């Protein structure tokens, strides 16, 4: 799993119907920014743990997403 820092969010009016209601955060990981669905409630500046691939989709009720925030690291964590 990757550790990254939330830097913002993205918005899309035109999207797959099954993405309705998902929140998408931009997360900076070591090899650049990726977009992840968030159901944990992370905000800008939070260091988060990401699950990727089919695992992320399952966690998001099978929505077509391939990255999801699954935890917010405690400030002292690492």
Interacting residues toward a copy of itself by CB under 8 A: 1-3, 8, 10-16, 18-19, 24, 26, 30-37, 39-41, 49, 51-59, 62, 64-68, 70-74, 76-78
**Closest CB to a copy of itself among 14 and 45?**
14
Output the smallest distance, CB 50 to a copy of itself, in A: 8
Closest to 35 measured CA to CA, from 71, 11, 59: 11
CB of 37 to a copy of itself, least distance (A): 8
By the 10 Å C-beta count (0-12 exposed, 13-18 middle, 19+ buried), 76 is classed as exposed
Q: How far is the CB of 45 from a copy of itself (least distance, A)?
A: 14
Helix (H) or strand (E) holding 26: strand 23-29
């Amino acid at each position: 799993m990757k550790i990254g820092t939330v830097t913002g969010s993205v918005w899309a009016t035109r999207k797959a119907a099954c993405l309705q209601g998902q929140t998408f955060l931009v997360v900076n990981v070591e090899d650049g920014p990726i977009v992840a669905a968030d159901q944990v409630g992370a905000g800008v500046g939070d260091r988060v743990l990401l699950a990727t691939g089919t695992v992320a989709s399952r966690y998001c009720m099978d929505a077509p997403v391939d990255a999801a925030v699954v935890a917010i690291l405690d400030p002292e964590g690492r």
